[in-house]
Amino acid sequence: MLDINLVRTQPELVRQALINRSADTAVVDAVQALDIRRREILTQSEQLRAQRNSASREIGKMKDAAARETRIAGMREVGDRIAVLEAELKQVDLQLDEQAMSIPNMPDARTPVGLSEDENVILRNEGSVHRFDFIPKPHWELGPYLGIIDFERGVKLSGTRFYVLNGLGARLQRALIAWMLDLHAGQGYHEAYLPFMVKQQTLYAAGQLPKFKDNLYHDVEEDFWMVPTAEVPLTNLHGGEILAMNALPLHYCAYTPCFRREKMKAGSDVRGIKRGHQFDKVEMYKLCAPEQSDEELESMREDAEAVCRGLGLAYRVKLLCTSDIGFSARMTYDIEVWAPGCDEWLEVSSVSNCGDFQARRANIRFRREPGAKPEFVHTLNGSGLALPRTMIAIMENYQQADGSIMVPEVLQRFVGANVIRK
């Protein structure tokens, strides 16, 4: 949620930000009009209330019954007028909220303006791409060959885009989760185990609703929504709280499965485990004071890169342009690892600074010193990393001519093997 004051005082700035995001600007006019009407109603109804409050106080002290009755009758009418105004206010508030909630965050000045993902900027390539003296196979061939990925049975259980991991395949994923969490703990992140189902309000606060309703799974009988990312519960962990300055920055990491109803084009990304309705992810999350968030973003990107480096994967860092950053983000780095079998770069992490956008929705504040006015914190999130794509990169980069897969050194003690072979 943007500061309504920004829309009020600098609507042009907001409009330009929406244009840069390739989004419709009509919402700005709607918010402006509703905001003006809201304040009109407020002024009127508050005047009436003040009048009623003082009259009621006097009525309480009146002794003369007849005069008292006259006064009460007069106030009855004032009460009716208030009721009418309140009813309209409720409507206006509702609409204003809905409109204001649908405005995405203002991009940071450093986020390049661009009309599509083609205008994202590749900042760096890190690590050397592994050269093979044979043609590397894609993971959707290696997995079934080694018996560690079973696509058929996944489909049997749950339909297309589901799979089963077997034996060392399942173990490799578990090893990655454990290793990543340990790594992040060493980087100063506090590990949390979170609910995988949350209530609707929690999704609004994180910026997933109302815009991405179509991409979420939820129970129709109860107010339970499956988390699309650990970012959602992590954003709300301190919702409604006022934190002490010396508690900041807060660094969290968490492993959760993620559930996404993806409206995918038939035929796109269908092969393998790159994109599914359910996947695992280790997430990093930070809450900090506004002046800290630029620096925290860089260190979080660094922490995500450390995962790729630890696994010995070649990767590149992208700075997303205005049209490609997420709804809640003001600036985002993507980290992509090279997958020689699929022959493409895979996005394994997205590291974003959301500024006070989520904090405003979730009402997360802090006090610089006891007694000081509460201010909104800044929030940041980043994957560290998405599991299936990391699995793909490991399988395809560490494959050998005979179809076996070497286990990256850091994972060996978790997997309990140096190599996965048939």
Partner RNA sequence: GGAGAGAUGCCAGAGUGGUUGAAUGGGACGGUCUCGAAAACCGUUGUGGGGAUUUUUCCUCACCGUGAGUUCGAAUCUCACUCUCUCCGCCA
Residue 224: both structure tokens together: 């339970």
55 sits near RNA (criterion: CB under 7 A): yes
42 sits near RNA (criterion: CB under 7 A): yes
For RNA, the closer CB: 46 or 117:
46
Distance, CA of 125 to CA of 117 (rounded, Å) = 18
Taking CB under 7 A as the criterion, the residue among 72, 94, 122, 129 binding RNA is 72
For RNA, the closer CB: 57 or 131:
57
128 sits near RNA (criterion: CB under 7 A): no
Stretch that binds RNA, among 18-26, 56-64, 99-107, 271-279 (CB under 7 A): 56-64
Stretch that binds RNA, among 46-54, 103-111, 141-149, 405-413 (CB under 7 A): 46-54
Stretch that binds RNA, among 38-46, 112-120, 383-391, 397-405 (CB under 7 A): 38-46
For RNA, the closer CB: 139 or 218:
218
Taking CB under 7 A as the criterion, the residue among 13, 26, 29, 39 binding RNA is 39
Q: Which of 296, 74, 343 is nearest to 304 (CA)?
A: 296
SS (H, E, C) the chain: CCCHHHHHHCHHHHHHHHHHCCCCCHHHHHHHHHHHHHHHHHHHHHHHHHHHHHHHHHHHHCCCHHHHHHHHHHHHHHHHHHHHHHHHHHHHHHHHHHHHHCCCCCCCCCCCCCCCHHHCEEEEEECCCCCCCCCCCCHHHHHHHHCCEEHHHHHHHHCCCCCEECHHHHHHHHHHHHHHHHHHHHCCCEEECCCCEECHHHHHHCCCCCCCHHHCCEECCCCEEECCCCHHHHHHCCCCCEEEHHHCCEEEEEEEEEECCCCCCCCCCCCCCCCCCEEEEEEEEEEECHHHHHHHHHHHHHHHHHHHHHCCCCEEEEECCCCCCCCCCCEEEEEEEEECCCCEEEEEEEEEECCCHHHHHHCCEEECCCCCCCEECEEEEEEEEEHHHHHHHHHHHCECCCCCEECCHHHHHHHCCCEECC
Rg of the chain over all Cα atoms, to the nearest angstrom: 27
61 sits near RNA (criterion: CB under 7 A): yes
Residue 228 class from Cβ within 10 Å (0-12 exposed, 13-18 middle, 19+ buried)? buried
- Minimum CB separation of residue 356 from RNA in Å reads 12
Q: Contacts with RNA: how many residues (CB under 7 A)? A: 28
For RNA, the closer CB: 69 or 298:
69
Taking CB under 7 A as the criterion, the residue among 54, 70, 91, 400 binding RNA is 54
Q: Which of 363, 400, 357 is nearest to 108 (CA)?
A: 357
368 sits near RNA (criterion: CB under 7 A): no
Residue 318, strand partner residues: 122, 334
Stretch that binds RNA, among 53-61, 116-124, 129-137, 250-258 (CB under 7 A): 53-61
Taking CB under 7 A as the criterion, the residue among 49, 130, 260, 368 binding RNA is 49
- Minimum CB separation of residue 115 from RNA in Å reads 34
Stretch that binds RNA, among 51-59, 122-130, 253-261, 409-417 (CB under 7 A): 51-59
50 sits near RNA (criterion: CB under 7 A): yes
Cis omega before residue 385 (within 30°)?
A: yes
Taking CB under 7 A as the criterion, the residue among 9, 22, 43, 91 binding RNA is 43
Stretch that binds RNA, among 19-27, 35-43, 244-252, 341-349 (CB under 7 A): 35-43
- Minimum CB separation of residue 65 from RNA in Å reads 11
289 sits near RNA (criterion: CB under 7 A): no
For RNA, the closer CB: 52 or 260:
52
Report 337-366 residues binding RNA (CB under 7 A). Answer: 365
For RNA, the closer CB: 15 or 52:
52
Residue 352: both structure tokens together: 């974003």
For RNA, the closer CB: 54 or 116:
54
For RNA, the closer CB: 159 or 370:
370
Residues 205-224, mask of contacts with RNA (x by CB under 7 A): --------------------
Q: Which residues sit at the interface with RNA, rule CB under 7 A?
A: 4, 39, 42-43, 46-47, 49-50, 52-57, 59-61, 72, 75-76, 78-79, 90, 365, 370-371, 373-374
